[in-house]
Amino acid sequence: MTAALATPALATDGLSVNFGALLATQNVSLDLPAGARHALIGPNGAGKTTLINLLTGLLRPSGGEIRLHGATITHASPAERVRRGLVRTFQINSLFPALTPLESVTLAVCERRGLTRSWLSRLSRRTDAIDEALALLDRLGLGPDAERPTRELAYGRQRLVEIALALACEPRVLLLDEPAAGVPARESAELFEVIAGLPRDLAILFIEHDMDLVFRFADRITVLVGGQVLCHGTPAEIAENPEVRRVYLGSSGHG
């Protein structure tokens, strides 16, 4: 394998942050190769969202390093990280309910292309942006809902629109904070089928509490407890790990 191929899409080394006396992230080191489907699991308060906030630049680390495709981005602004291809979705629904998915995603495409600031942008470029947005929505199976107000969509479909918005930024690494939170079980499996089918060169780090979804869709898992990495491993390794069973999965476990 060449050095370029071996460079992780996303890596952290010794990442740490504290809130006063609380060490919310302690010395976390993580590697995601291109194409990873990597789950971040752990009990409530383990530091999962804090880690995502460090990765996206919403929080400043007190120590450690973050690299995106080998380039250090530890102190880059959130907007700069998005420009470089590190994009997230949030745990809570952050959509404009009155806009249609097509309107929202077209705006995101225009923003990426630098078309939103000038009303003098040529109409044809805006038409191209609409075409790109439609193609993206079609790829996610949202074509039939593209022109309905977002608030009328089933919740699982709304979460898919959030993923479409993230994809409009052309990410190379996608961070999903509980993409299926609040989504009924049948819809959440469909949602994860779509996530699993996203381009294979896109690295995905996702937080998920539903262990059936985690063990079905992740190719690697990191277990966080008390802000620290308890272990990394394949789903089979995590399912068999007695310490993980003790602190998180319970005696029934998975696998």
| Site residues (vs ligand ATP, CB under 6 A) | 19, 22, 24, 42, 44-50
**Shortest reach from residue 213's CB to ligand ATP, in Å:** 15
Closest CB to ligand ATP among residues 42, 101:
42
CB of 145 or CB of 208, closer to ligand ATP: 208
Q: By C-beta, is 22 or 196 nearer to ligand ATP?
A: 22
Best CA proximity match to 126, nearest among 137, 135, 113, 138: 113
DSSP-based three-state secondary structure for 200: coil
**In angstroms, what is the minimal distance from the CB of 178 to ligand ATP?**
7
CA end-to-end span of the chain = 31
Residues composing the chain: 255
- Looking at the Cβ atoms of 41 and 167, the one nearer to ligand ATP is 41
CB nearer to ligand ATP: give 109 or 211: 211
Instruction: Give 19 or 96: the residue with its C-beta nearer to ligand ATP.
Output: 19
Here the tokens at position 70 are 């080998």
Using alpha carbons, select from 114, 103, 64, 89 the residue that is nearest to residue 171. Answer: 89
Query: Please, what is the minimum distance in Å from the beta carbon of residue 222 to ligand ATP?
Result: 12
Work out the angle at residue 139's Cα, subtended by the Cα atoms of residues 137 and 143, and round it to the nearest 5 degrees.
45
Minimum distance from CB of 185 to ligand ATP (Å)?
Answer: 19
Least distance in angstroms from the C-beta of 232 to ligand ATP: 16
Rounded CA separation 98/100 (Å):
7
DSSP structure string for 43-108: STTSSHHHHHHHHHTSS--SEEEEEETTEE-TT--HHHHHHTTEEEE-SS----TTS-HHHHHHHH
Q: In the bound complex, what is the minimum distance in angstroms from residue 12's beta carbon to ligand ATP?
A: 15
- Three-point CA angle 165, 168, 174, nearest 5°: 75
